[in-house]
Structure 1
């Protein structure tokens, strides 16, 4: 039973960190390296709490995290993503099985479209010049919270 409480505490910590990421990205268009590092550093505790074996499961989690980071780092190099967003996605990929990471990415894309439309509309209503900066960390955080919550909400279905 104490393992269950530890997993719940880690889920709560990740949820709080995601909320902080969304708020700071919305306010200042910044997701701090410290926050991303904390999310990544808590992932191995999550693996241990879930009883993942070192081989192959923990190795697969690392591979998924590196693959997601690499893919989005390429998008960063093209100027399509912010650096904090890329690091947040890489850190989050360490927490979820690859199937859930795919769900997170699809949901993030849909929510990112909504955030982009809202940001552009706000930018135009305020008659601001230049290109608006999209707080994509909001979409990433909401998608991750959704995927995280599914673990608990689906048990009632």
Structure 2
């Protein structure tokens, strides 16, 4: 059974990393990442050994995170891709892993914000000027914050405490 569990569970960190990197480089998180995570959740949940009640709780947590993400998007705090990535990561975390996911995402967001503010402070402008286009865009004073990076980092940090990982790995 572990020959199936582990590859299915590894889909989550791989796609979370890809989502964070895509947001860092292009300020977009493609829909296929969120859709693939939703599609992979069902078989991963079924082979993880999680009881149906726990899987249902994961679905409820994911839906609540989607509503929260939509609210943050409507308020202009995050992008649409960030909201979707947030929701699917919460889906995989379930409860109580979603609480750690929120805490870790907030901490990663603080570190990301400090790093971006340092990058945009002006001291690093000469070093960034010759860098790739995505880095120059990231260093632009009026640029957005690629919060998908923080969401991915928080998800990776919390993943071992998520419902599916706990059920599968004990």
1:124 pairs with one of 121, 124, 127: 121
Q: Which runs of 5+ in 2 are unaligned?
A: 126-138
String of CA shifts for 1:70-129, please: whole Å, max 9, x gaps.
012111110011111110111112212211011001110011011011112212323844
String of CA shifts for 1:1-44, please: whole Å, max 9, x gaps.
xx212221022221111111111111111111111110111111
Give 1:109's aligned residue. 106
Give 2:90's aligned residue. 93
2:155 pairs with one of 138, 144, 147: 144
In 2 relative to 1, CA 57–142 (structure 1 residues): closer, same or farther, beyond 3 Å? same
1:9-48 maps to which residues of 2 (within 5 A)?
Answer: 9-48=7-46
Q: Secondary structure at the match of 1:52?
A: coil
Structure 1 stretches of 4+ moved >6 Å = none
Offset, 1:57: 2.8
> What value does the CA root-mean-square deviation take over the aligned residues?
1.9
TM-score (norm 1): 0.86
Distance in 2 of aligned mates of 1:92 and 1:103: 12
1:18/1:141 contact within 8 Å kept: yes
TM-score (norm 2): 0.79
Distance in 2 of aligned mates of 1:42 and 1:74: 25
Distance in 2 of aligned mates of 1:30 and 1:14: 18
Number of residues of Structure 1 aligned to a counterpart in Structure 2 = 149
In 2 relative to 1, CA 129–139 (structure 1 residues): closer, same or farther, beyond 3 Å? closer
Distance in 1 of aligned mates of 2:49 and 2:6: 14
